[in-house]
Amino acid sequence: MKFVYILSLFMALWGFLAQGCMSFRISDEMAKQHFKERGMELGIHSIKIDTRTIHYASAGDSLLPTLVFIHGTPGSWNAFMQYMQDTDLLKQFRIVSVDRPGFGYSDFGKVMNLSAQADILNSWMQKINNGKPVYLVGHSLGGPLIIKMAADKPGMYKSLVVISGSIDPDEEKAEKWRVIFFKSPLNYFLPGAFRPSNQELWYLKQDLRDLKADYSKVNIPVYFIHGDNDTWVPPGNVAFGKKMLVNAAEVGELMLSKGSHFIPWTHYNEIKDVLLRLSD
């Protein structure tokens, strides 16, 4: 009985702590201070789209073309703070990074499937559009999301950059254990952002199959950047994307030697060079 009591107490304590830790986000105040220390200004915004809140950050001249970063899972807008502080990029772009629905401060924990995320983020982009070209950059799960966004809104975006994108349904591991968590009380024992992440990764299995019908609708340039040593999202995803994008104006590929899934941070300069050439 003593063991059962201790175990129950531990599980209750972990269930409580798990909700607050590992959220993969920082406070707006801390983010602004981080930029202020570098003599830079950061805009933090929240917009209501129907019943949902979209939280995002912006940096740079509001009249320039817009470079939009969309994070993977789990994550939040601040994954791309380094890019938002890059003076070379800021000479060419207004840089925006967004908390995807269910992450950061965009209704944390309330997950949406890929199609619903694309709908709400396209509505968000229409609200913040400044009339200049918009370039989308998506990492990991953000990769298929920007493809869906472009397919649903032809003419809204100038080009796409898919970094370590998880787009091939046949490259996805089955991971049937995920449904055991998010459809049972065990879900509450997953820490922080891993809870909504687990749920949307289960949805992704079907989302990627549904996305196959949308590739032919993409008629703008698409650039794939991937690490050849990515064990989380295999490089085979790039070959799949190139095969499916039959109507894209251009399909480019940069395979980074010894690159892992974390190339946005480990191969910063190579990725920055691609972004700087977007507006050529």
What confidence score (pLDDT) does residue 115 get?
Answer: 98
Read off the pLDDT of residues 238-255 as tens digits, 9 standing for 90 and up: 999 999 999 999 999 999
What confidence score (pLDDT) does residue 24 get?
Answer: 72
Q: Which residue has the higher pLDDT, 48 or 193?
A: 48
Q: CA-CA distance, 58 to 236, in Å (whole number)?
A: 33
Instruction: Supply angle C-alpha 75, 78, 83, rounded to 5.
Output: 120
Of the candidates 42, 62, 15, the residue with the CA atom closest to the CA atom of residue 190: 15
Read off the pLDDT of residues 7-22 as tens digits, 9 standing for 90 and up: 344 334 344 444 455 6
What confidence score (pLDDT) does residue 178 get?
Answer: 53
Grouping H, G, I as helix, E, B as strand and the rest as coil, residue 265 is: helix
pLDDT band at 279; cut points 50, 70, 90: confident
Tokens of 249: 């104006």
What confidence score (pLDDT) does residue 16 get?
Answer: 44
Contact indicator for 189, 127 with CB cutoff of 8 Å: no
Read off the pLDDT of residues 136-168 as tens digits, 9 standing for 90 and up: 999 999 999 999 999 999 999 999 999 999 999
How would DSSP label each residue in 79-127?
GGHHHHT-HHHHHH-EEEEE--TTSTTSSTT----HHHHHHHHHHHHHH
- Domains for the chain: give ranges and CATH numbers: 2-276 (3.40.50.1820)
